[in-house]
Amino acid sequence: MTSRPPEFAVEPAPLTGAPGVLVRGEIDVDTAPQLTAALDAAIWASQGAFVVDLCDVKFLDSSGAAVLVRARALLGRDERQLVIVCPPGPARRVFEVAGIDDLLVLFDSRDQAAASLQPAT
């Protein structure tokens, strides 16, 4: 018996008052259009920094990475920041191999991302 990958889903997941989404499952050529639509809607309906949590993503290919780079550009038009929670592992490796890990704001955990969103005291 083979295990099936978790079902792809995007759900609201704000962090420290910043709007955001949690992505589950696999982000590939089949699910990238769904992720694009979900991110576009969530970004347009929000303000400030935007968080994408990839902790529950089991697979990410180049089409998924392209969706996130596009989201970064979309947010950048309004001088908003894209914050990505992506622990070390296969998904993070895609950003590194593609050479875009320094283009994105990546955090290993939600706690680290939350700390970055807190105003300096």
Pick from 64, 65, 39: nearest CA to 52: 39
Please list, in sequence order, all residues whose beta carbon lies within 8 angstroms of the beta carbon of residue 96, skipping any fewer than 6 positions away.
none
Q: How confident is the model at residue 1 (pLDDT cuts 50, 70, 90)?
A: low
pLDDT of residue 76: 95
> What type of residue is 101?
D
Q: pTM for this structure?
A: 0.92
Specify whether the CB–CB gap between 28 and 64 falls below 8 A: yes
Domains of the chain: 9-115 (3.30.750.24)
pLDDT of residue 10: 97
CA 74 to CA 66: how far, in whole Å? 12
Is 121 a residue whose pLDDT tops 60? no
Gap between the terminal Cα atoms of the chain: 54
The helix (H) or strand (E) run that includes residue 84 is strand 82-85
Q: How does DSSP assign 6-25, residue by residue?
A: PPPEEEE--BTTB-EEEEEE
Q: How confident is the model at residue 111 (pLDDT cuts 50, 70, 90)?
A: very high
The pLDDT tens digits of the residues spanning 2-20 come to: 555 569 999 999 999 999 9
